[in-house]
Amino acid sequence: MTVNDNLFQLIKSLTAGEKRYFKLFAARQTEAQKTNYEKLFDEYNDLPDDQPYNEDEFLKKLKRKKLGKYISDDKKHLTHLLLKAMRSYSAEKKAEGRLADMILEMNFLIEKGLVDHCAKICVKAWEIAEERELTEQKVKLLNIRRVIDRSEYNINRENFQNDLRIQEIKALSQLEDEREAVYLYERIYSIYILHQMNDRKEEITQIYDRLGILYLKPDLTFDCINTIIRAKCVILDHNLQHKEALDLTSQLIAQWEKSPWRLKEMTDRYVKLLGNFMVFTSRTGTYEGITTLIGKLEKVETTEKEVAKDVFYLLTFCRLLNYINSEQYQESLSIIPELKKGLKEFDALLTFVQKRTLVNNICLIYLKNKMYSEVLDEVQEVYALVGRSKDKQHRIEDVRIFEFIAHYELGNTELLHYTIRNNQRFFKEHQPENDFIENIWKHLKLFIQSIDKPKAAKQKLKTTLESLPCPDTNTALRNELIAWLS
C-alpha cells in the first residue's frame, strides 16, 4: 500500500448495499451526466480487492480513459460525497444515525428559538434512545431537555430538574459500565490475538473476576451484557470450557431474539453470534443444538449480500455437521450442489479461509461416501486456491490428509510415498504451525511401510493418534482420521 491509498481503502470497505446507495445518492446530486468523481468511484471500485493499490499505475489507467486531470480535487470531492452519503445511509438504516440527525436538528432549532418544535422531536428521540438503550445519546438528550424546559421557576421545575438528574446519573453509570466492559474485552482479546494466553494467566484470571463482578451489577444495558459475555467466552474457550461458553452464548442469543428491531437493524452481528454458537457446539463434540441453529439461520432475512454470504457459509456447515453427527453420509451428498453454487455466487465476498473450508467440506462429504476419485478432484481445487502462497499452504493440513487417504484407498502406492516425501520437504522448508501435524506425517510414513499388513497397521496408527496431544484446532481432523482407521 502507498501513502495515498485512503480513498481506495474507504471504497473497498463499503458493502454492496452501501455502494448501491452511494450511486443513487450521487446521481441525485446532479441532473447532468455522470461526473468525474462518480467515474473515479467506478475506477476505484473496479480495482482488484486482493492486490495492493499502486497509485502510479492507477493514474496511468485514468489518463488512458481521459480522467485524472484534476485528480486531487476529484479525490477530495469524492471522499466528501462518500462520507456524506454514508451519514445519510446510516440515518436511514440505523437508530444511532437517526438520532445523530435529530440531535443536530434540535440544536439548530434551539439556536433559532423554536423550542416547542424542538420539544416534539426530543420526545420521539428519547423513545428511540430508551428502547435501544443508547446511553451516550440519552445523556445528550437530557442536556437538550434541560435547555427546552421553559416552565416557571417553581416547585414543578425543581422536581423536573431533579428527575432529569436522576436519569442522568443512571445513564452515566450505565455508560461507565459499558466502557469498563469494552476495556476488559479489548484487553483479553489483544492477549488472545498476541498468543499470550498461557504467559499471562494471572492477569486473565483478574480480568475474568472483574467481568464477573461487573455482570452482577444492576441496570446493565444489553450492549454491556453482550460485551461481557463475549469477553468471558474468549477466556472459557481458551480454558477448554466449551460447554460453559456455549451456555453463555445461548443466553445471549435468547436476549437478541427478544428484540425485533435489533434483529432487523443488526442482522450482521446476530449472524456472527450464531457463528460463535456453531463453533462452541462443534467443540463440545456433542453437536447438540445444531438442528435448532439451522432453523434460526433459515429464518434470517437480509438484503445485504455480505450477511447472506455468512448465512450461506454457516448454514451449509451446520447441515454438514448434522449429517455427519447422525451418520447420514449418503444424504450429505445433497448439499454439494448448494456448496458449489454458493462458492460461485459469493466468490468475491468469501475470505480465503471460508473458501478453503467450503471446498474442504466437499472433500469430506466425498470421503465419507468413499468417492475417492472425487476427493482428489476437490483437493486440486484447494491447491489451485492456495497457489504459491507459503502462508496459505500452512492452512491446508486437513486437505493433505484427505489426499493421503484417497490415494491409500485407491491403491496409489507410489503417490502415497510421493505425498509423504512432499510433506517432509515442506516441513523442512517451513516450520509447521504445531507439533501435532508433523507427528501425524511421521506416523503416516511408518504406516505405509507396513502396508502389506493393513489391519494391524491401521490399529497401531489409530492407537497412536488417540494418545497424541492434540490442539483444539486439530481435534476434528484427528477424529476424521480415527474414524477412517476404524
User: Do the domain assignments include residue 455?
Assistant: yes
Residue 220 confidence class, pLDDT cut points 50, 70, 90: very high
Say what the pLDDT of residue 32 is. 61
352: number of Cβ within 10 Å: 14
- The single residue listed with the C-alpha cell 482420521 is 481
pLDDT at res. 150: 67
Q: Flag whether 417 is in a domain.
A: yes
Share of the chain above pLDDT 90, in %: 36
CA atoms of 403 and 386, how far apart (whole Å):
15
For residue 437, count other CB atoms closer than 10 A to its CB.
20
Burial of 242 (0-12, 13-18, 19+ CB in 10 A): buried
Last residue of a domain, one of 51, 75, 93: 93
Model confidence at 3: pLDDT above 50: no
- Type and span of the H or E element at 39: helix 36-46
Q: What is the mean pLDDT of the segment spanning 183-207?
A: 93
Q: Looking at residue 451, what is its pLDDT?
A: 73
Helix axes 305-325, 290-299, angle to 10 degrees: 160
149 part of a folded domain: no
Last residue of a domain, one of 93, 119, 152: 93
Whether residue 1 is predicted with pLDDT greater than 60 in this model: the reply is no
Query: In this predicted structure, what is the pLDDT of residue 28?
Result: 76
The string of pLDDT tens digits covering residues 174-189 is 999 999 999 999 999 9
Picking from 359, 318, 365, the residue whose alpha carbon sits closest to that of residue 342 is 359
Last residue of a domain, one of 93, 111, 137: 93
Which comes out higher in pLDDT, residue 157 or 337?
337
Q: Is the pLDDT of residue 146 over 50?
A: yes
Q: Is residue 312 part of a domain?
A: no
Residue given cell 484447494 in the structure block: 382
Name every residue whose Cβ is closer than 8 Å to that of residue 425 and which is 6 or more positions away in sequence.
none
Alpha-carbon span 79 to 100, nearest angstrom: 20
Average pLDDT, the chain: 86
Domain that holds residue 398: 351-486
pLDDT at residue number 91: 63
Angle at the Cα of 275 from the Cα atoms of 212 and 298, rounded to 5 degrees: 130
- Which pLDDT score, from 0 to 100, does residue 2 have? 46
Give the pLDDT confidence of 41-88 residue by residue, as tens digits. Answer: 888 888 887 677 888 888 888 888 777 677 788 888 888 888 888 877
Distance from the Cα of residue 216 to its chain's centroid: 28
Residue 135 in any domain: the answer is no
| 368/388 Cα distance (integer angstroms) | 29
Determine the 3-state secondary structure of 233 from DSSP.
helix
Report the pLDDT averaged over residues 155-163.
83
Asked if residue 346 is part of any domain, the answer here is: no
Long-range CB pairs of 388-395, under 8 A, 24+ apart, other chains included: 390/430, 392/352, 392/356, 393/426, 393/430, 394/430, 394/432, 394/433, 395/352, 395/353, 395/356
pTM of the model: 0.74
Residue 282 lies in a domain: no
Residue 370 lies in a domain: yes
Question: Can you say whether the dihedral through the CA atoms of 112, 113, 117, 119 is positive or negative?
Answer: positive
**For the chain, what is the domain count?**
2
Residue 314 sits at the vertex; the CA angle it makes with 289 and 223, to the nearest 5 degrees, is 75
